[in-house]
Amino acid sequence: AKSPIEFESVPIIENTRSKDFESDSLDDSSVVSVERGTVMVAKDELLPGNLDEGDIDLESIKRATKVVSSNESWAQKTRRMLQENVNDETGISEIVSLMAKSNDDLRQEVFVMQMIHYYKSVFVNAGLPLWLKTYRILSVSKDTGLIEVLTDATSIDGLKKSDSFPKEGGLRAYFEQVYGDPESKSFKAAQTNFIHSLAAYSLVSYLLGLKDRHNGNIMIDTRGHLVFIDFGFAMGMAPGHEFSFERAPFKLTLEYIDVMGGINSEGFKEFKRLFIAGFEEARKNSLIALGLVEIMMYKSNYPCFTGWRYGNGVALKRFEKRLMLHVPESQVKAKAERLIEHSIDNGGTKLYDSFQKWSNDYEI
């Protein structure tokens, strides 16, 4: 098994006095680069194999930004703040948006993000375009911490509550509204981003047993990627425990499939191909993953590792079972396909979304 990639620190903004900062308009420099440095929201997006296709035109990004980010992109906001407030003598500055949390133990969140970080490196090493977003989480004490805010993104719930969201047609109609005709380069690039991110998060959700996947905990960015957040329920731990509605391997709604082009589309075939390929790579790299989980669960008080339901190594055994290490290589593809089939339009998933709509007003 290959070792995880070491991620280097890359400045978000470089040379703040360059001509690129003279205008407030959303131009190519605010989306792609400024002078000597590449401007990316997430530092590790510079990894080979985890880059956007780059075919989404500027007008599509503007339309998505209007819906997702209240008409101001993170690059625009950063530029404005640097001009108004921040400048150091070296000319290199970084602005990070953070959320402070209290009465919440973030150590389990840190653990899950470490696992996502690891699987991201596994997929990159394998040359798979499975897209995962990693962000910084700092546990300051047992009940306080800081979480890096995802920029140029909003929750699916927030998106659907927006006045700009289509009244009919769901996410597919939104993609057509923002990125244009389904045959256009922009639409196909955004659709590809959606497929690559959905396949990655579907696989990671299954492997790490991520639950509580309502539309307040699933985000979408201006380029069409899905991003999963809030990992308070992990390693099979779910709201309601054994009475949980979330019995599917992962969340795969008909709305998601519609964005991909339908059940018989090339887009859905690509989703299945990537899910299966990623699962095979996860099995090949299972030794490190199992070791990470075993280390983190030792004398741990994380909710996903404690109590009679998950303690005494139960969570680790279930994780190993989900990896299907006992299954012969020749049967892995068929097993992975069954996971997908069981997840499509799953009744439990729909019930949980309906429950969250009723109890917390999260849009379905």
State pLDDT tens for residues 75-134: 777 777 777 765 555 565 677 888 898 888 899 999 999 999 999 999 999 999 999 999
Classify burial at 176, counting beta carbons within 10 Å of its beta carbon; exposed 0-12, middle 13-18, buried 19 or more: middle
Q: Domain of 222? A: 99-360
Statement to judge: residues 60 and 72 lie in one domain: yes
| Same domain as 105, residue 68 | no
Instruction: Identify which of 240, 229, 244, 239 has the alpha carbon closest to the alpha carbon of residue 157.
Output: 229
Residues 6+ apart with CB under 8 A from 247: 346, 348
Whether residues 70 and 177 fall in one domain: no
Please check whether residues 90 and 104 belong to one and the same domain.
no
Query: Residue 109 domain-assigned?
Result: yes
Quick one: how many helices (H) and strands (E) in the chain? 14, 10
Which residue spans within 268-316 are E strands per DSSP? none
**What integer pLDDT is reported at residue 7 of this predicted model?**
34
Q: Do 130 and 59 lie in a common domain? A: no
Residues 182 and 275 in one domain: yes
Answer yes or no: do 195 and 272 share one domain.
yes
CA–CA distance, 314 with 328 (Å, rounded to integer): 23
What is the number of structural domains in the chain? 2
Output DSSP code: residue 313.
T
Phi/psi at 308 (nearest 5 deg)?
-70, -20
- The percentage of residues in the chain with a pLDDT greater than 90, rounded to a whole number, is 60
Q: Dihedrals φ, ψ of 315, to 5°?
A: -60, -40
Give the C-alpha separation, 253 to 358, whole Å. 19
Q: 333 in a domain, yes or no?
A: yes
87 and 131 together in one domain:
no
- Tell me the torsion sign for CA atoms 223, 179, 161, 346: negative
CATH of residue 248: 1.10.1070.11
Asked if pLDDT for residue 211 goes beyond 90, the answer is yes
Q: Are residues 85 and 137 in the same domain?
A: no
Q: What is the pLDDT of residue 40?
A: 34
Read off the tokens for 254. Answer: 């008909």
Q: Give the whole-angstrom CA distance, residue 16 versus residue 99.
A: 25
Kindly give the interhelix angle for 286-297 and 107-125, rounded to the nearest 10 degrees.
170
The answer to whether 260 and 267 have CB atoms below 8 angstroms apart is yes
pLDDT band at 212 (very low <50, low <70, confident <90, very high): very high
Task: Decide: pTM greater than 0.95.
Answer: no
Residue 8 inside a domain? The answer is: no
Q: Does position 36 have pLDDT exceeding 60, yes or no? A: no
Identify the top-confidence range among 18-27, 52-61, 236-245, 270-279.
270-279
Question: Residue 26 domain-assigned?
Answer: yes
User: CB under 8 Å, gap of 24 or more: what pairs does 166-172 form?
Assistant: 170/255, 170/258, 171/255, 171/256, 171/258, 171/259, 172/255, 172/258, 172/259
Q: Same domain for 219 and 105?
A: yes
For 292-314, the pLDDT digits (tens) are: 999 999 888 889 898 767 777 89
Q: Each residue of 239-282: pLDDT tens digit? A: 877 778 889 999 999 999 999 999 999 999 999 999 999 999 99
Residue 245 resides in a domain? yes
Looking at the structure, do residues 90 and 197 belong to the same domain, yes or no? Answer: no
- Domain-terminating residue out of 77, 96, 115: 96
43 & 180 share domain: no
